[in-house]
Amino acid sequence: MFFRNLTFFRFPTATDFSEVDTLLPHALLKPVGALEMNSRGFISPFGREEKEVLSHRIAEHLWLTVGGEDKILPGAVVNDLLERKLEEIEEKEGRRPGGRERKRMKDDLLHELLPRAFVKSSRNDAFIDQLHGYVAVDTSSRKTGEYFMSDIRGLLGSFPAMPLNAEVAPRSILTGWIAGEPLPTGFSLGEECEMKDPVEGGAVVKCQHQELRCDEIDKHLDAGKQVTKLALVFEDNLSFVLGDDLIVRKLKFLDGALDQLEHADEDGRRAEFDARFALQSAEIRRLFLLLEEAFKLSKAD
């Protein structure tokens, strides 16, 4: 399992995680109830079949996983059944139920359908770097990341995690890089970008499989467009698209990183998990520290 996106949050490095393993059994994912729409809780990073190991650690890195169960009940299905019942009443009684009665009928339908609805399972993973005070959630959605922070907050009782705060406007940094300013050591431009006119409702230009240092791109920059997403390569280890929201999307681990897995000595599923965890957490830390320096990210201490 490799992370495909990174949404970062910062927290004070003084945060105590020593009781996590004691607290996790009390915050497990429970099966969604017959009349519930969803359920959330912690599961083992090694999969739902694992019942005893609810977290994983390597050095200062802690791996936590939140599982979810969501009922699939399309609104169109509910509305179609409701309309049928409304038509039946209209035909039998010669009247069309009003708003309050329709709402009550819809609630009754939901209670009737929920126990028979399909359940969709999901999981979200996060690496917590206790040394440098950040959480990397495998999601491109800030909202999903915030949910994960709430889960950790509920687990620990308190967890003052905040989204990244850059002292320098990320758009200006990304725009400078594509315009030819020096990139951080080890970084090189990829072949994808998004540029926007800074005025409200302005033009948006998206480029893929495009050489980014070219006259065409320069013309857009000269017209005042700013870079909001930029594909980057970190050494021969990672490729990704960095947004002006500082979310890392389309993360891929390249041969330079994956070659390290071939030198792992131990066999077995757990050993493979350890090797991938060690590889990912180390590369994500290197990436985060470069972003921290380039964008002058504020610390949470």
Residue 146 within any structural domain of the chain: no
Three-state SS for 134? strand
- The alpha carbon dihedral of 93, 99, 105, 106 has a sign of positive
From CA 173, how far away is CA 170, in angstroms rounded?
Answer: 5
CA-based nearest residue to 41, from 117, 111, 121? 121
Residues 205 and 290 in one domain: yes
**285 contact partners, CB below 8 Å, separation of at least 6:** 61, 129, 132
28-32, 102-106, 140-144, 260-264: which has the minimum mean pLDDT?
A: 260-264
The secondary element (H helix, E strand) that includes residue 83 is: helix 75-93
- Helix spans in 182-300 (H): 215-222, 255-258, 269-294
- Residue 63 located in a structural domain: no
In a domain, 67, yes or no: no
Residue 275 included in any domain: yes
Confidence tier at 267 by pLDDT (50, 70, 90): low
Distance CA 301, CA 298 (A): 9
Element counts in the chain: helices (H) and strands (E): 8, 12
238 or 301, higher pLDDT: 238
Give mean pLDDT, residues 111-132.
92
On whether both 226 and 111 belong to a single domain, the answer is no
Q: What percent of the chain has pLDDT over 90?
A: 66
Which three-class secondary structure state does DSSP give residue 257?
Answer: helix
In this predicted structure, what is the pLDDT of residue 68? 95
pLDDT digits (tens, 9 = 90+) for 222-256: 999 999 999 999 998 999 999 999 999 999 999 88
State the total domains in the chain. 2
**Which residue has 């169109």 as its token pair?**
76
Any domain includes 33: no
Domain enclosing residue 99, as ranges: 75-115
**Order of strands, edge to edge, in the sheet holding 226-234?**
204-208, 187-196, 226-234, 238-243, 248-253
- What's the average model confidence in pLDDT over 87-99? 86
> Please, are residues 265 and 275 in contact by the beta-carbon 8 Å criterion?
no
Per residue in 145-201, pLDDT (tens digit) is 999 999 999 999 999 999 999 999 999 999 999 999 999 999 999 999 999 998 888
